[in-house]
């Protein structure tokens, strides 16, 4: 339990909830009717509004072997962003990011494209942000080494080939959401002279603050941020050699 608590809080919660919900639905223990995004059942006055449908469509994996892959990629990308990306150095900022991209995905994939499950789009959003933080590195996509910024596009192309146009369009909304977040929080304020309005509320900062003499507890030890971490965005990235992306030295789950 201590090891679980030392994992990135948002990443571990997302992955754990996805595992539990998907296992219950795929095993038949829970009726799949209660999971998908149905706006007419959320915004209704005839029955009790089913507000949980704002969350459950992001926590449903595909069956069979995809169940394992979806969980793996969700945790891999989200944990590396939450405890590795300098853009989420403020406590609670990663949760704000997840809420923002989830809202954009719901508006585009849910309302515009009529999709009911958004898990793949959420994972692709994580992959896109991860790839933007690792420019200049390479990663393995099956047996082909590609530049890391090409990773989300390679995944999207694979979805298009295996599942068709609509599934690829739904996943593409994850890239749209992640890029919009990047534009509003980094590109426009830095190069356009604008203001970043996507900030982390004070109550979330207090909720997520778990410091130990300036360090953050992690499963592989304590990580201390340098004073100018925003200017050292390339320092945390490591090379990975996995089927879809990479894993660096000393970042293995459960390592010392």
pLDDT per position as a tens digit, 199-239? 999 999 999 885 433 444 443 333 444 444 443 433 333 33
Q: What is the pLDDT of residue 1?
A: 66
Residue 247 belongs to some domain of the structure: no
Residue 235 belongs to some domain of the structure: no
Residue 200 belongs to some domain of the structure: yes
pLDDT digits (tens), the chain, 256 positions? 667 778 899 999 999 999 999 999 999 999 999 999 998 888 776 778 889 999 999 999 999 899 999 999 999 999 999 998 999 999 999 999 999 999 999 999 999 999 999 999 999 999 999 999 999 999 888 788 999 999 999 999 999 999 999 999 999 999 999 999 999 999 999 998 889 999 999 999 999 885 433 444 443 333 444 444 443 433 333 333 343 444 444 444 444 3
21-54 confidence digits (pLDDT tens): 999 999 999 999 999 999 888 877 677 888 999 9
Query: Across the strands, what pairs with 139?
Result: 146
Residue 225 belongs to some domain of the structure: no
Contact present, 130 and 81 (Cβ < 8 Å): yes
CATH number at residue 10: 1.20.1540
Residue 237 belongs to some domain of the structure: no
Owning domain of residue 170: 3-207
Query: Across the strands, what pairs with 140?
Result: 145
* SS3 labels along the chain: CHHHHCCCHHHHHHHHHHHHHHHHHHCCCCCHHHCCCCHHHHCCCCCCCCHHHHCHHHCCCCCCHHHHHHHHHHHHHHHHHHCCCHHHCCCCHHHHHHHHHHHHHHHHHHHHCCCCCCHHHHHHHHHHHHHHHCCCCEEEECCEEEEHHHHHHHHHHHHHHHHCHHHHHHHHHHHHHHHHHHHHHHHHHHHCCCCCCCCCCHHHHHHHCCEECCEEEECCEEEECCCCHHHCCCCCCCCCCCCCCCCCCCCCCCCC
Residue 241 belongs to some domain of the structure: no
Residue 169 belongs to some domain of the structure: yes
Domain count along the chain: 1
Residue 227 belongs to some domain of the structure: no
């Amino acid at each position: 339990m201590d090891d679980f608590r030392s994992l990135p809080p948002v990443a571990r919660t997302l992955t754990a909830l996805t595992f539990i919900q998907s296992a219950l639905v795929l095993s038949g223990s829970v009726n799949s009717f209660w999971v998908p995004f149905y706006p007419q059942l959320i915004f209704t006055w005839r029955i009790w509004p089913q507000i949980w449908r704002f969350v459950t469509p992001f926590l449903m994996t595909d069956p069979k072997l995809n169940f394992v892959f979806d969980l793996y990629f969700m945790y891999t990308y989200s944990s590396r962003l939450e405890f590795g990306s300098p853009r989420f150095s403020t406590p609670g900022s990663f949760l704000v990011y997840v809420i923002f991209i989830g809202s954009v995905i719901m508006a585009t994939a849910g309302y515009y494209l009529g999709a009911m499950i958004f898990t793949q789009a959420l994972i692709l959003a994580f992959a896109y942000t991860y790839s933007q933080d690792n420019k200049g590195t390479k990663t393995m996509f099956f047996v082909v080494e590609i530049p890391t910024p090409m990773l989300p596009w390679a995944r999207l192309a694979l979805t298009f080939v295996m599942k068709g146009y609509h599934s690829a369009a739904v996943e593409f909304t994850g890239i749209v959401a992640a890029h919009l977040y990047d534009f509003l929080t980094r590109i426009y304020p830095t190069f356009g002279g604008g203001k970043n309005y996507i900030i982390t509320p004070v109550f979330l900062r207090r909720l997520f603050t778990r410091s130990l003499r300036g360090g953050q507890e992690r499963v592989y030890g304590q990580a201390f941020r340098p004073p100018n971490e925003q200017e050292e965005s390339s320092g945390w990235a490591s090379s990975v050699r996995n089927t879809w992306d990479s894993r660096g030295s000393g970042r293995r789950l459960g390592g010392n």
